[in-house]
């Protein structure tokens, strides 16, 4: 779990911006990228769930290994 230490900046008496230490910003950026990768992986798995696999031996023969 990320622990954040934002500084809230106000404009005209209303909360307008949140400023984070750069290290926390990097942690959020990394976490979001990981989440997007996981979401893409799950979507790809769902798209391919009915696609038949290729047996390992057949792949080896085709690659000549």
What is the DSSP code (8-state) at residue 49? Answer: T
Q: Rounded to an integer, what distance in angstroms lies between the CA atom of residue 50 and that of residue 53?
A: 9
The answer to whether 16 and 10 have CB atoms below 8 angstroms apart is yes
**3 state DSSP class of 15:** strand
For the stretch 20-57, pLDDT in tens is 999 999 999 999 999 999 999 999 999 999 999 999 99
Question: What is the residue whose two structure tokens read 């990097």?
Answer: 26
Q: Where are the beta strands (DSSP E) in the chain?
A: 7-11, 14-19
**Is residue 1 predicted with pLDDT exceeding 90?**
no
């Amino acid at each position: 779990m990320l622990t954040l230490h934002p500084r809230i900046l106000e404009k005209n008496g209303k909360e307008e911006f949140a400023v984070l230490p750069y290290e926390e910003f990097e942690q959020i950026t990394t976490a979001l990228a990981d989440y997007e990768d996981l979401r893409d992986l799950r979507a790809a798995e769902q798209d391919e769930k009915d696609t038949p696999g290729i047996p390992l031996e057949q792949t080896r023969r085709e690659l000549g290994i």
